[in-house]
Structure 1
Amino acid sequence: MTAHSIEILLNYSEAIKCLYYNEVLTSADISNYTGKSIPHTIKVLNELIKEGYVAEKGFASSSGGRKPLNYSLVADTHYLLSVALDQFSAQMVVVDMNNNFVSNVARYEFDIHLLQAETFVDDLKNFLENCGLSKNNILGIGLTMPGFVDTDAGINYTFLKVEGQTLVEYIEQNISIPVFLDNDSTAIALAEQKFGVAAHIKNVMVLNLGWGIGLGMILNDKIFRGNNGLAGEFSHIPLFKNGKLCICGKHGCLETEASLIAVTATAKEGIRQGQITSLANYKEVDADVIITEAIKGDVFSVKLISEAAYHVGEGLAILIHLMNPGAIVLSGKGSVVGKLWLAPIQQAINEHCIPMLTNYTEFIISNLNTKAQLIGGAALVVENFGKKLADKMAAIEENAFVS
């Protein structure tokens, strides 16, 4: 990146963000989003057109009078790298400035509890070498992962710990690309807010139905991370007296009964006890297999997901009483069987919630599904367009010059 490119991203970041999130806008639209005057907005757009960042996209419709021009970002000026980790793998994809995936989604498998930062950086390097793009064209890496994540500090207190420096510092030192870190469920909430079904809803709870049960929160139209970025540990609500040890070290957490890890363990136990199910035809049973067979109508698979969903509903009843959200979005890996989740969740809500509160909360199934976290990772980089990204780029340029 040149100093001039960094300056462009710093000075015109708000207009670029608007166009990234909305694809095509008029100058009046951008003026409304940024709170700047239309003459100022047109001046910014003309400068971005001159620099090759923005192109005119024909005329917008009009109810009368002169039709306004539409504007859009030029897709291939720069790229974003989204890296989405779960407990057993990392997915990586390059995204252009129109939020299109422009590389294949690469998958690297591991157990995150055993994964070392050095190995993870090697996987990143491998992906960058094979994605067909120069590192110089990638603005930043949006790294999203489970665990207790302090976004501002660039630390994951649970996984990928690095001695003597933060995880973000370690990756930037080895990759020379700006890195932005966030919790996976928060990233999914960001994706749903900017590109999904949560757009234009003021207060939304976004459930990440993955190996665990994550929660991303949108409060008053803003992503809520809590005091240190650690808000949203929904799956560790102690709901059960089942004696089961959770990965967090406590007993009886929601996750011990309702996560896809718990569902998979129950499925394997059922097969061992002679349960009649199509799952018995698989050499190895995991969450993907259970979801696939549930979609096909396997009774046992449907039962497993329904029981987990009911427990999720019990937890949501608490959440609704506390937060009074306008909507609860089912997103993440498990949302591909969203319709199977809805009925048992609704049953639990009806049993445990005050009707007055449930009347004002809508349940919505994500249309982003398994792409939500990757989309959120790219959006995380875009959210940091401006001073944060410019400072990281300048620091990386300076370190490269010194070395």
Structure 2
Amino acid sequence: MEVKTKSVKGMQLKHMITKCLYFDKAMSCAELSELFDKSIPSIAKALNELIEKGFVVEQGYAPSSGGRRPLMYAINADAMYILAIAMDQRSTRIQLVDLRNHPVAEMMVFDLKLAGNDCALNILVENINKYIDGCGVLKEKITGIGIGMPGFIDPDKGINYTYLKSGDRSLSQFIADEIGLPTYIDNDSSLIALAEQKFGIAKWQKEVMVINLSWGIGLGMIVNGELFRGRNGFAGEFSHIPLSEDGALCECGKRGCLEAEASMLVVANKAIEGIKQGRVTSLKVVGEAQSKQMSDAIMAAANAGDQFAIELFSDAGNKIGKALAILIHIMNPQAIVLSGRGAKVGKILMAPIQQALHKYCIPRLSSGTELMVSELGFDAELIGAAILVMENFDKEEMNQVVSI
């Protein structure tokens, strides 16, 4: 029994070190010893075993600081792979990545409408299996599946209360059973916030509001260095901040919500309507106009200087700024990051957002909040999905798959 207990503890330590090196790049034996409050011989033993298994590599010596330079250890990017999936209300992306979050196979993108689609879950599973079969990597090398998706989600229970109904099983268990890999799900905006905190522009910051500019306008909140979920796990429904009582009708059934006034879907639909009314623009409506195609086209046009496209984003930015003023008054964050699909036009949105903040926000509060545009952009959700798998790397179900 004692031998078994020591073996389990040794495996847990190796999983903890692997997880740590994934997030922190390279560390010395002494740094890991201090971090985990373990003796240097224990850490050295675990590192040597991880090197033998191919999970850790030596990465040379740290820069000299006057004494003996310590040997640094880093994760082996190709030790295993993660299947990262990013979903929105209309399309899904599947990408296999290594432990540096670099793609190792071509991305699959396919249309998948979630609302009112009873076949959506089966289509998702079918495409995941198709991707794994064709990616050129052995399934045994894939450690797990992380999925970011819209909706009210309980990540601990693996349930999405809004989309993808899975019967008696939790959604994560259903997919895990069908694919044969540990599966974890979380809200798309929460994962985008995690990506920005761990690998993006918000790294090392403690109080950050991350705005997911997509078909809705989501919010991931980093509070005191941790992802804040609220009492029921549903905190961050930024899309449904009411801007007016007589505004456009939102999908939630109420009028004047931010989502109904300034989301990417609204901007795309306004562009289509403006073109039909004869507005002067480089944009064109071809056949059955798709909001996704128009969204990509209008962002490209705005960045190329199209005045109509810029006008639409300026209007959206002003409304987003008005909603952000409310957020700043409540949360007083260190920074606000514009991320997600709409980060491509982040620089264009900055000016109208700042103007709205000057108009609606108390200067003492707004002056202490830095407004930034994500460097991860549209990739943030995929990176967040990979992070989700590694956040669970030391859990029991993962240990059963990855023995190190």
What TM-score do you get using the length of structure 2 for normalisation? 0.92
The letter for the 1-side match of 2:254 is K
| CA–CA separation in structure 2 for the residues paired with 1:392 and 1:347 | 53
The letter for the 1-side match of 2:45 is K
The letter for the 1-side match of 2:73 is Y
Cα drift, residue 342 of structure 1:
0.6
The letter for the 1-side match of 2:74 is S
Structure 1 residues 9 and 364, CA gap change in structure 2 (3 angstroms): farther
Cα drift, residue 30 of structure 1:
3.0
Q: Is the 8 A contact 1:305 1:340 kept in 2?
A: yes
Q: Is the 8 A contact 1:9 1:390 kept in 2?
A: no
Cα drift, residue 32 of structure 1:
4.8
Q: Specify the alignment match of 1:25 in structure 2.
A: 27
Q: Specify the alignment match of 1:335 in structure 2.
A: 343
| CA–CA separation in structure 2 for the residues paired with 1:246 and 1:280 | 27
> What secondary structure sits across from 1:123 in the alignment?
helix
Q: Is the 8 A contact 2:112 2:120 kept in 1?
A: no
Q: Specify the alignment match of 2:326 in structure 1.
A: 318
Cα drift, residue 248 of structure 1:
1.9
| CA–CA separation in structure 2 for the residues paired with 1:111 and 1:56 | 46
Cα drift, residue 51 of structure 1:
2.5
> What secondary structure sits across from 1:94 in the alignment?
strand
| CA–CA separation in structure 2 for the residues paired with 1:222 and 1:256 | 30
> What secondary structure sits across from 1:278 in the alignment?
coil
Q: Tell me if 1:368 matches 2:372.
A: no
> What secondary structure sits across from 2:151 in the alignment?
coil
Structure 1 residues 45 and 391, CA gap change in structure 2 (3 angstroms): closer
* Identity, % of aligned positions: 48
Q: Tell me if 1:193 matches 2:197.
A: yes
Q: Specify the alignment match of 1:400 in structure 2.
A: none
> What secondary structure sits across from 2:284 in the alignment?
helix
Counterpart pick for 1:110 among 109, 112, 134: 112
Counterpart pick for 1:381 among 389, 393, 398: 389
> What secondary structure sits across from 1:240 in the alignment?
coil
Counterpart pick for 1:133 among 134, 137, 145: 137
Matches within 5 A, 1:29-48: 29-48=31-50
Q: Is the 8 A contact 1:212 1:260 kept in 2?
A: yes
Structure 1 residues 250 and 10, CA gap change in structure 2 (3 angstroms): farther
User: Aligned residue pairs: how many?
Assistant: 391
> What secondary structure sits across from 1:280 in the alignment?
coil
User: Root-mean-square deviation (CA), in Å?
Assistant: 2.1
The letter for the 2-side match of 1:324 is N
The letter for the 2-side match of 1:246 is C
Point out where structure 2 has 5 or more consecutive residues left out of the alignment: 1-6
| CA–CA separation in structure 2 for the residues paired with 1:258 and 1:104 | 33
Higher alpha-carbon deviation: 348-357 or 23-32: 23-32
Point out where structure 1 has 5 or more consecutive residues left out of the alignment: 398-403
Higher alpha-carbon deviation: 244-253 or 33-42: 33-42
Cα drift, residue 391 of structure 1:
6.3
Q: Is the 8 A contact 1:20 1:99 kept in 2?
A: no
| CA–CA separation in structure 2 for the residues paired with 1:254 and 1:6 | 50
> What secondary structure sits across from 2:47 in the alignment?
helix
The letter for the 2-side match of 1:53 is F
Structure 1 residues 47 and 348, CA gap change in structure 2 (3 angstroms): same
The letter for the 2-side match of 1:68 is P
Cα drift, residue 7 of structure 1:
8.4
| CA–CA separation in structure 2 for the residues paired with 1:9 and 1:247 | 48
Cα drift, residue 282 of structure 1:
4.8
| CA–CA separation in structure 2 for the residues paired with 1:197 and 1:180 | 25
Counterpart pick for 1:280 among 279, 284, 300: 284
Q: Tell me if 1:241 matches 2:245.
A: yes
| CA–CA separation in structure 1 for the residues paired with 2:60 and 2:350 | 42
Q: Specify the alignment match of 1:401 in structure 2.
A: none
> What secondary structure sits across from 1:344 in the alignment?
helix
Structure 1 residues 388 and 220, CA gap change in structure 2 (3 angstroms): farther
Counterpart pick for 2:222 among 214, 218, 224: 218
Cα drift, residue 313 of structure 1:
0.7
CA offsets per residue over residues 32-59 of structure 1, 9 Å max, x none?
Answer: 5445454443333223123321111111
Matches within 5 A, 1:252-263: 252-263=256-267
Counterpart pick for 1:82 among 81, 84, 95: 84
Q: Is the 8 A contact 1:10 1:390 kept in 2?
A: no
